[in-house]
Structure 1
């Protein structure tokens, strides 16, 4: 938006600065002004807390204010006689409507770095003399020194919240600066061996007398003077779920520090970023050591077998499997699935591996039932089918265009499943799963494509080729 209005703004700036062409390179001035506007305007739009009170009423989404900012920057930069003064004057100008804490932020550092880069690579005569080149290099060196010494500090109320190494590692990805100082507060006499563990992880330990809220009070007192104790601190992580820490967070923020409020909500860790005003949620529940999808499937199959024996049925509800998994491993199937296969949920695992699981659902709103192909040892598995002579196997239709085609396909599948079995009946759900495996389409979807009303069971009952019977384990079907 800003860039589109540049021709108008350039003319305005040039009309007010007769020496523009002779004092500076206008292309560079325009480039600097555009870059600064494009960097500053989103901050003005999204972070009103960084705007000086007198300017908070301005709607920075409007073109007229963006154009005015651009024109003012052009005028300000063009009026300077020495390019080495540009950075200081830009900062002074932005300080009219941005609070001081912004200029200590990573965002402004990035803006400064880019301005220095643009000036350094320009062809202006003023930058070609040795004095200005030295000034520029000193400025860059000074900034690099500042950044390298800037740190983040972690304050932990160990009586209220405990962080494992994995969670602590996650917190390092949230901060802009490295966590160089970690301080934990507690009555260590009542914390078992936690003091030894935290000391080994680089924490400074501050002991407080036993009693409620003593750790809170000490942490607040200590934290309130962090900006004085550690002048190079730019970020502070306040790790406690106690609401009493709100005042400490506000105090630190008022002193120009970016504060990350770290608290526990259920099984999640919630990190509130005072600079962006946004929450980041991270699960702190430890996942079982399941390193591969193959191992995951084996564990699921073991659970299903256990439930089959316990309930004396082939078909187990997905809900039952999920609860059993959660009780055994203290986490959900979806959590492990998303770790091994990002984006996948519990039901996706069973649907994605049709050679391992049979999935049955009467209709789209019904519960999902899961079984294993190996639930009935007397039924023929795929490997045995493939080992049969070709003449014994029934040909499979590749295209299903009618009810008769579907009936024929199902007849062949039943024969395939029972060809070496003394049992002629096949569980309806197993047949449904076999169809999905063979043709890559759920049977319910196939019925819809053929515009056959009713569910799969009703379709089988309507076909003259099949006999059905109801058992304690569900409906079974055989070829007449």
Structure 2
């Protein structure tokens, strides 16, 4: 290993290269002084090192072309090495094949279990920051890449080959809940929170009953029953929003999660015609507004003072 330079102008590089086993050749300052010296020494390297098979010429200057040709005529395999941004480019001078080696260490790909926990931690932090339960997939991707210097696609392609990024969340329903707004590319994720189980004491104090996860749809027998339930759902969802308006898609998702049936299917069972937004508009408890292609809904009494008189 030979290194040619004006070492007086190179700081402590001479010490570093010396400890790494380089033979240091000093040249005075001047344009191309090091290149010409390198070409002179290099052209006779096969004499000083007769057992050498390959030579790496670390320079991006064109003057090295003649050196490479000379070495090749003596049966040596020659590589041109240069630095480009954060990569080392190695060119086989004969075949012109190129290899790129990154100078930046590649982060270790997490295990699937670690990956899921990392996503959950980011979701929790973002939910706390925004006071919103739902996080857009593009935002989650950005936060993950910023924190771990890895894209979601990199992890998925290795840990879940053949899967899409969105499959991470649909494949783990015990960890995540997803929502895709029809007709758009918006894909939202939130954490699956297990419902709290309430213990009810009986008169005998021997039996306990747990509140079921899925609520019975049989108790919804009329339009007014459904309106009452939707009002309660909206009030619960509003705790995650600063704005009184909530996307109606989120209400539909929450309804399906709690009752294990799409809201539109229940509307058909109750012979309630029309779309879900039109149904909400027909109810006195709600007011709607359209944002882009999607509807948002709020309670009509939001922001008003109401007085209830009981006799």
CA distance in 1: counterparts of 2:27 and 2:96, whole angstroms: 32
On the 8 A contact 2:59/2:81 being kept in 1, the answer is yes
On the 8 A contact 1:235/1:257 being kept in 2, the answer is yes
Instruction: Report which stretch shifted further, 271-280 or 298-307.
Output: 298-307
Structure 1 residue 242 displacement after superposition: 4.1
Select the residue among 158, 169, 194 that pairs with 1:382: 194
Computed over aligned residues only, the root mean square deviation of the Cα atoms, in angstroms, reads 5.4
Q: Which residue of 1 aligns with 2:277?
A: 461
On the 8 A contact 1:337/1:345 being kept in 2, the answer is no
> How is 1:339-358 mapped onto 2 (pairs within 5 angstroms)?
341=159, 347=165, 351=169, 356=175
Q: Do structure 1's residue 221 and structure 2's residue 40 form an aligned pair?
A: yes
On the 8 A contact 1:468/1:475 being kept in 2, the answer is no
TM-score, normalised via structure 2 length: 0.52
TM-score, normalised via structure 1 length: 0.37
The SS at the match of 2:67 is helix
Structure 2 segments unaligned to the other structure (5+ residues): 200-207, 217-228, 239-245, 263-273, 299-311
CA distance in 2: counterparts of 1:306 and 1:338, whole angstroms: 22
Structure 1 segments unaligned to the other structure (5+ residues): 1-181, 375-380, 397-414, 444-457
Structure 1 residue 261 displacement after superposition: 2.6
For the structure 1 residues 294 and 284, does the alpha-carbon distance in structure 2 shift closer, same or farther, using more than 3 Å as the test? Answer: farther
Q: Do structure 1's residue 393 and structure 2's residue 206 form an aligned pair?
A: no
Structure 1 residue 342 displacement after superposition: 8.6
Q: Deviations over 1:321-346 (max 9, x none)?
A: 555555556x4425963896496999
Select the residue among 191, 197, 213 that pairs with 1:373: 191
Q: Do structure 1's residue 248 and structure 2's residue 70 form an aligned pair?
A: no
Structure 1 residue 215 displacement after superposition: 4.0
On the 8 A contact 1:333/1:346 being kept in 2, the answer is no
For the structure 1 residues 268 and 357, does the alpha-carbon distance in structure 2 shift closer, same or farther, using more than 3 Å as the test? Answer: farther
> How is 1:51-450 mapped onto 2 (pairs within 5 angstroms)?
182-210=1-29, 213-288=32-107, 292=111, 294-295=113-114, 298=117, 301-304=120-123, 313-324=132-143, 331-333=149-151, 337=155, 341=159, 347=165, 351=169, 356=175, 360-362=179-181, 366=185, 368-369=187-188, 371-373=189-191, 381-382=193-194, 384=196, 392-394=212-214, 423=236, 428=249
Q: Deviations over 1:59-89 (max 9, x none)?
A: xxxxxxxxxxxxxxxxxxxxxxxxxxxxxxx
**Which one has the bigger helix percentage?**
1
CA distance in 1: counterparts of 2:186 and 2:50, whole angstroms: 60
Structure 1 residue 471 displacement after superposition: 11
CA distance in 2: counterparts of 1:433 and 1:220, whole angstroms: 74
